[in-house]
Structure 1
Amino acid sequence: MFSLERAVVCSLALLTSAVYAVKPVEVQGQDFVVADTGDRFVIVGVDYQPGGQAGYKPQEGEDALTNGTVCLRDAALLQGLGVNTIRVYNVDPTLNHDDCASIFNAVGIYMLMDVNAPFGGESLNRADPESSYHVGYLSRTFGVVEAFAPYPNTLGFFAANEVINDLGTADENPRYIRAVQRDLKNYIKNNIDRAIPVGYSAADVREVLEDTWAYLQCAIDGDEDDMSRSDFFGLNSYSWCGSDATFDTSGYDDLVEMFGSSTIPVFFSEYGCNDVQPRVFDEVQALYGRQMTSLSGGLVYEYSQEEADFGLVDIHSNGSVTLRVDFDNLQGQYNELDLSIIQSSNDTAVNLEPPECGRSLISSSQFSTDFDIPETPDDVADLISNGLDDPNRGQIVDVDETEVPMECYGTNGNVLEDLAIRPLPEDQSNTPSGEDTSGGATGTGAAPSATSSGAAVPAVGGVPQGLEYGAFMAFLMWLA
């Protein structure tokens, strides 16, 4: 017999689940794992910065994660695409990001956050890192940590991006990258109630790549708890170009050999060469195939079409969106993935202790072998010990709206009807669902699939989980 009390309990559980959809992710050796379950987490992602660098407008109170309506639109499309992670480059830690973070959380999409931004004093100076390593800069990075740490779908923080991009920047810069990582990790340890990984995003410049990874993953004096050591290593790789490329000709075979003995997770923080257009993304099958299980996936560059011509969608001035052929092709590649490989344990993982830092790890005579990391400035050490004064701390909020209010168009020009997010139950992240968002242009919305049970969100009494709370309760009273 139907029980109203039981139905109310179930309904409240679903509503709560829509708020706390994902579990935090942590590092375990060569892998990311879901903290509560220990299940391996592999990044199936897209780099997300609508408007490009110009979309970062702190003076106007705007960045990529301040407009909840925009994030609702993009979350619906990204959920249908099948991603579980976005990378966001430029954010202002003083602004409110609760709506956007909560929407992406609800649909099972994690966020990798850069702590740096493009304006003066907001990142390490590649040409003179010492000049930029000061309390003003580090206070900003701690502010980003405070703003995003409360969101369970914050996967990690990039301490720097391509600060080493040739041999000329490989002398002083490595020491300062480790210094920033140390300060961020110590701040998190002392002021945040959960561990959040901190790492680096590297340029795929082969003359410095392996040395960069070796320098950042080693342990100074053999100390496995060395706080300056990277927790993960991202690689911005564009070596696979077009349908004629292969695992060998793209150099993916060299990357697998290079990172096979990694003691930290390695993944593509950017990929998707656009020399041949539209992009076919054949590399997706290799990246998530059995030959590359030692890597932890990657993020396609990038969501929106900007000047660099890497977009998956066109965003119009009225807020509407048109999917590009690249979107369809990427979705098709995701839909062909063998999820059992992605979700299974990493058979190639090796339980190695991190190597002790030393000259023998570095192959180039021009790359730094100095592991004397700059000391934390006194005024920064005080912040690390006591925390920022009255920082802006984010919080997960209820996601009441699910339907996308602006029009979105498929590649065939037809409107994607009934486009909406589909919040996932607790502990589940988004996965490719087999959906063809643009093909039929009938717009079934972003039907999710989930990593925990492999099932979409259930209905209670035939009522979709996205139903408004008031209407749902009225429905339950009617059943009683």
Structure 2
Amino acid sequence: MFMKSALVALGGATLAAAVTPLEVQGSQFVDSKTGNAFQVVGMAYQIGGSAGYDPSHGKDPLSNGDICKRDAALMQQLGINTVRVYNLDPNLNHDDCASVFNAAGMYMIIDVNSPLEGESLRSDQPKQSYNSGYLNRTFAIVEAFKSYPNTLGFFSGNEVINDVKTGSSVPPYVRAVTRDLKNYIKNHADRAIPVGYSAADVRDVLEDTWNYFQCAIDGDADDMSRADMFALNSYSWCGDSSFQKSGYDTLVDMFKTTSVPVFYSEFGCNTPSPRVFTEIGTIYGSQMAGVFSGGVVYEWAQEDNNYGLATCNDDGTVELLSDYKTLQDQYKKVDFTKVQSVKAANSKVTAPTCKSSLIKEKGFANDFDIPAVPSGAQSLIDDGVSPAPSGKIVDISDYTVNHQVKDASGNVIQGLAVKPLADDETNASGTSSSSSDSTHNAAATLAPQGALSAAAIIVPAIVALSFTAGFSLI
């Protein structure tokens, strides 16, 4: 499998593009210019929590450029190179936020679904919820984000499969959505953009879910229903754990033959609290980096579920929590220059052919009979949604943060600003945009169980989805 992401022409503008185009080559994300394997150093970003996605009031996590600038400056100091963004409104303008993250050297992984009625594939009603109205909305998300060069990929689903019962009926529909998104991108985007799935770390069904999505029907590696990447939301490393105690070793063993990039789409157990983030050295160390492509810390903004690194107030002010500094200190122990300089493997990874023997758990779908495109949706795939949202990188005249930010000790951080990076440069630990010693990220130093219950594992996702509001389709 070979997927190339190229920078999109921006109407002749002379805007710097900080991020380098990535390719998906077998089981790795690859820097197309250096040939180095790319490791995701990510942050889950759903600013405002459940209330942050409010289409009825024109608000979502990427609709306020000043807020994105504030958070990008702080995440830039951590060394974040990717944000995962949930619950977006395709009708809103995201140019400022996308441009700020691009200048800060950060990619975006976009979820196409939302918790509102008709805006997601339902695990309890996959057939009924897979319809042209739902696809219209997901295609609109693609339209809104396809032209940003720092859009790394789209998730076609998040934890839709979380037990054998949902595994019996949902997988073919997730593959159908993946197929439809990939065909839409092929027809309407100027570059290939990966589409994948974010899974719950429920060991009863995790391996079957991965095999179901990575395999190629009839052995066709270009099968459009096949996922381009696979990720999991895992909270099995809690406190000062270890590679073996956390079960990370069994995950590495499970995914060692993967034919697509695998990474953590969420991690960061919050018990005990405060967190110690000792998994960082392992995720980016020799035990995992050859199989996993990094991970996304859950999450940036503090909410009732107590996973946040920063308290983000309604007036725009921020108080950093102790977990921010702890995570920063753990990142400093990793030599990310070394981590991001590993040459990608040259050997091609062959996708397994879809067959029932790939599926181990009795009751999990194993027939690979993918549903046909719903009535009315093929014209959307062929002709595009109308009116189509659009996005483009814009010039940001001032990268200074205008909101007050305090460190965990209550000291106001002075001189906070995003540091625009040079062409083709991604953010790494060691980048600093503030004169404050309290958050300055010095140059990095050289270095290289059983799972939780399903209920415990999916708590963050459940909290993120616990609200309703109105929304009108494109």
Cα offset for 1:38? 3.1
| 3-state secondary structure, aligned to 1:292 | coil
Which residue is equivalent to 1:252? 248
Amino acid at match of 1:381: Q
Report if the CA contact (8 A) 1:280-1:329 is conserved. Answer: yes
Report if the CA contact (8 A) 1:357-1:371 is conserved. Answer: yes
Cα offset for 1:351? 3.0
Label 1:55 to 1:447 Cα distance change in 2 as closer, same or farther (>3 A): farther
Of the candidates 424, 428, 441, which is equivalent to residue 427 of structure 1? Answer: 424
Alignment of 1:80-119 (within 5 A): 80-119=77-116
In 1, the alpha carbon distance for the partners of 2:345 and 2:126 equals 37
Cα offset for 1:349? 8.3
Q: Is 1:289 the equivalent of 2:282? A: no
In 1, the alpha carbon distance for the partners of 2:22 and 2:149 equals 8
Label 1:412 to 1:40 Cα distance change in 2 as closer, same or farther (>3 A): same
In 1, the alpha carbon distance for the partners of 2:344 and 2:99 equals 34
Of the candidates 171, 181, 187, which is equivalent to residue 174 of structure 1? Answer: 171
Report if the CA contact (8 A) 2:415-2:435 is conserved. Answer: no
Which residue is equivalent to 1:320? 317
Which residue is equivalent to 2:348? 351
Report if the CA contact (8 A) 2:30-2:344 is conserved. Answer: no
Report if the CA contact (8 A) 2:20-2:31 is conserved. Answer: yes
Cα offset for 1:22? 1.2
Q: Is 1:269 the equivalent of 2:300? A: no
In 2, the alpha carbon distance for the partners of 1:59 and 1:252 equals 42
In 2, the alpha carbon distance for the partners of 1:127 and 1:439 equals 50
Which residue is equivalent to 2:48? 51
Structure with max Cα Rg: 1
Which residue is equivalent to 1:332? 329
Cα offset for 1:434? 7.1
Which residue is equivalent to 1:150? 147
| 3-state secondary structure, aligned to 2:173 | helix
| 3-state secondary structure, aligned to 2:339 | helix
In 2, the alpha carbon distance for the partners of 1:225 and 1:345 equals 27
Which residue is equivalent to 1:308? 305
In 1, the alpha carbon distance for the partners of 2:80 and 2:124 equals 36
Deviations 1:381-415 (A, max 9, x none): 11111111230110100011111011100111100
Label 1:103 to 1:447 Cα distance change in 2 as closer, same or farther (>3 A): farther
Label 1:317 to 1:352 Cα distance change in 2 as closer, same or farther (>3 A): closer
Label 1:85 to 1:448 Cα distance change in 2 as closer, same or farther (>3 A): farther
RMSD between superposed Cα atoms in Å: 1.9
Runs of 5+ unmatched residues, structure 1: 1-14, 450-480
Cα offset for 1:341? 4.1
Amino acid at match of 2:407: G
Q: Is 1:373 the equivalent of 2:373? A: no
In 2, the alpha carbon distance for the partners of 1:438 and 1:328 equals 16
Cα offset for 1:372? 0.8
Give the structure with the higher percent helix: 1
Which residue is equivalent to 1:456? none
Amino acid at match of 2:391: G
Amino acid at match of 1:39: N
Which residue is equivalent to 2:361? 364
Cα offset for 1:338? 2.0
Amino acid at match of 2:394: V
| 3-state secondary structure, aligned to 1:290 | coil
In 2, the alpha carbon distance for the partners of 1:355 and 1:343 equals 28
Which residue is equivalent to 1:454? none
Of the candidates 217, 226, 231, which is equivalent to residue 228 of structure 2? Answer: 231
Report if the CA contact (8 A) 1:261-1:350 is conserved. Answer: no
Runs of 5+ unmatched residues, structure 2: 1-12, 445-474
| 3-state secondary structure, aligned to 1:296 | strand
Report if the CA contact (8 A) 1:247-1:253 is conserved. Answer: yes
| 3-state secondary structure, aligned to 1:38 | coil
Aligned sequence identity (%): 53
Report if the CA contact (8 A) 1:263-1:350 is conserved. Answer: no
Deviations 1:315-347 (A, max 9, x none): 122211011110000000111102244213367
Which residue is equivalent to 2:7? none
In 2, the alpha carbon distance for the partners of 1:64 and 1:333 equals 27
In 1, the alpha carbon distance for the partners of 2:118 and 2:130 equals 9
In 1, the alpha carbon distance for the partners of 2:409 and 2:437 equals 9
Which residue is equivalent to 2:201? 204
Report if the CA contact (8 A) 1:30-1:266 is conserved. Answer: yes
In 2, the alpha carbon distance for the partners of 1:188 and 1:447 equals 40
Amino acid at match of 1:234: A
| 3-state secondary structure, aligned to 1:62 | coil
Amino acid at match of 1:390: P
Amino acid at match of 2:68: C
Label 1:313 to 1:170 Cα distance change in 2 as closer, same or farther (>3 A): same
Amino acid at match of 1:366: G
Amino acid at match of 1:87: R
Of the candidates 275, 279, 284, which is equivalent to residue 275 of structure 2? Answer: 279
Of the candidates 19, 22, 47, which is equivalent to residue 19 of structure 2? Answer: 22
In 2, the alpha carbon distance for the partners of 1:232 and 1:300 equals 18
Runs of 4+ in 1 over 4 A off after TM superposition: 346-350, 434-439, 446-449
Which residue is equivalent to 1:466? none
Of the candidates 380, 386, 389, which is equivalent to residue 383 of structure 1? Answer: 380
| 3-state secondary structure, aligned to 1:44 | strand
| 3-state secondary structure, aligned to 1:47 | strand
In 2, the alpha carbon distance for the partners of 1:111 and 1:438 equals 27
Of the candidates 54, 71, 74, which is equivalent to residue 71 of structure 2? Answer: 74
In 2, the alpha carbon distance for the partners of 1:16 and 1:23 equals 16
Report if the CA contact (8 A) 2:312-2:318 is conserved. Answer: yes
Amino acid at match of 2:38: F
Amino acid at match of 1:283: E
Amino acid at match of 2:261: P
Report if the CA contact (8 A) 2:400-2:418 is conserved. Answer: yes
In 2, the alpha carbon distance for the partners of 1:203 and 1:349 equals 31
Cα offset for 1:366? 1.3
In 1, the alpha carbon distance for the partners of 2:433 and 2:151 equals 28
